[in-house]
């Protein structure tokens, strides 16, 4: 499928998709074996057992892309100047799910043309190109609107830089299909590649997200490997002008909890790639931490107004 502008979308769909059993991951991932998913409110679900995948310096033949499309769930990848891991990430997602949509968020690195070349040979890959950068949340919202217009009900969001484990897409989608009223949130398992300053710093954001929802079960507020129900998330984003950039992931989780969307957690590995491995990061410690601080000030204020309802919900689940 060729590249389409934001307001021109098309996607063939039929029965809900299921995995072909092929496993494709970013190099260096080790996906742990887990127990069966737990769909209780705020429950800690674990993904089904997956094989260990190592590539390192060894060439790994890419599996065939999944062909059976889902009519309800799609993979949505917002992308802004993502670096060398883009094609590998998209191939990994396509090996596990159909359809996969990539929203090119005003990229200036030529990645839209590279994606178009891939989409020309793959009807399960759909590319949207935004003419200017809107931020992660803005790109996700563009994808939500287009997906809803085509009748989809859920999106799994993942980064385009290879940090998220494509091999777990089927488990996350299965958990969402079993509990479509819920959101399925990844609970990151960090390895030695994770910058400790960011690992430790996210604990503060996680604490505030738990406080703002009376410990509803968000787990990690910043991990973007998630399945969202489209309708409530789109409604929340249209109701205000925030959640358009780095503040999207934590604010989405908190506000969806406020709206009564229960979280389900599934453990998932996260891998940080260095520049020598093709990794790219657009995180700015000063700018983005100030953005998060302002976001939590807003959310704490909103929490105070919603406290009676949140307490009632906890007492009468």
CA distance 27 to 55: 5
CA atoms within a 13 Å half-sphere pointing along the CA-CB vector of 98:
23
Per-residue model confidence (pLDDT) at position 275? 67
Per-residue model confidence (pLDDT) at position 29? 46
List per-residue pLDDT tens for the chain, 317 residues long: 545 554 433 333 333 444 444 334 444 444 444 444 443 334 434 444 443 322 233 333 444 677 789 999 999 999 999 888 899 999 999 999 999 999 999 999 999 999 999 999 999 999 999 999 999 999 999 999 999 999 999 999 999 988 999 999 999 999 999 999 999 999 999 877 777 776 777 888 999 999 999 999 999 999 999 999 999 999 999 999 999 988 999 999 999 999 999 999 999 998 876 666 655 665 666 877 788 889 999 999 999 888 888 888 877 76
- CB contact set of 102 (below 8 Å; sequence gap of 6+): 77, 78, 79, 90, 115, 125, 126, 127, 128, 160
Per-residue model confidence (pLDDT) at position 305? 86
Domain boundaries, the chain: 72-315
**Which fold would CATH assign to domain 72-315?**
Spore Coat Polysaccharide Biosynthesis Protein SpsA; Chain A (3.90.550)
């Amino acid at each position: 499928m060729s590249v389409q502008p934001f307001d021109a979308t098309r996607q063939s769909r039929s029965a809900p998709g299921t995995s072909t059993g092929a496993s494709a991951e970013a190099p260096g991932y080790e996906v742990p074996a887990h127990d069966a998913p737990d769909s209780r409110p705020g429950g800690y679900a674990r993904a089904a057992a997956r094989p260990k995948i190592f590539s390192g310096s060894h060439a790994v033949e890419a599996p065939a892309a999944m062909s059976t499309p889902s009519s309800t769930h799609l993979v949505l990848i917002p992308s802004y100047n993502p670096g060398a891991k883009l094609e590998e990430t998209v191939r990994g997602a396509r090996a596990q799910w159909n359809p996969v949509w990539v929203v090119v968020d005003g990229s200036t690195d030529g990645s839209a043309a590279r994606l178009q070349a891939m989409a020309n040979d793959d009807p399960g890959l759909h590319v949207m190109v935004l003419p200017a950068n809107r931020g992660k949340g803005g790109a996700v919202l563009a994808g939500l609107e287009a997906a809803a217009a085509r009748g989809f009900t859920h999106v799994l969001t993942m980064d385009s830089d290879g940090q998220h484990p494509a091999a777990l897409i089927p488990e996350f989608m299965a958990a969402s299909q079993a509990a479509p009223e819920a959101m399925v949130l990844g609970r990151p398992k960090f390895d030695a590649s994770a910058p400790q300053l960011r690992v430790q710093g996210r604990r503060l954001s996680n604490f505030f997200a738990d406080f703002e929802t009376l410990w509803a079960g968000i787990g990690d507020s910043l991990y973007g490997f998630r399945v969202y129900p489209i309708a409530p998330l789109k409604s929340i984003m249209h109701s205000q002008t925030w959640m358009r950039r780095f503040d999207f992931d934590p604010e989405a989780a908190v506000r969806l909890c406020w709206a009564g969307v229960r979280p389900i957690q599934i453990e998932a590995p996260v891998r940080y790639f260095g520049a020598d491995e093709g990794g790219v990061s657009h995180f700015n410690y000063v700018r983005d931490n100030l953005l998060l601080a302002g976001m939590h000030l807003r959310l704490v204020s909103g929490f105070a107004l919603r406290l009676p309802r949140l307490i009632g919900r906890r007492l009468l689940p």
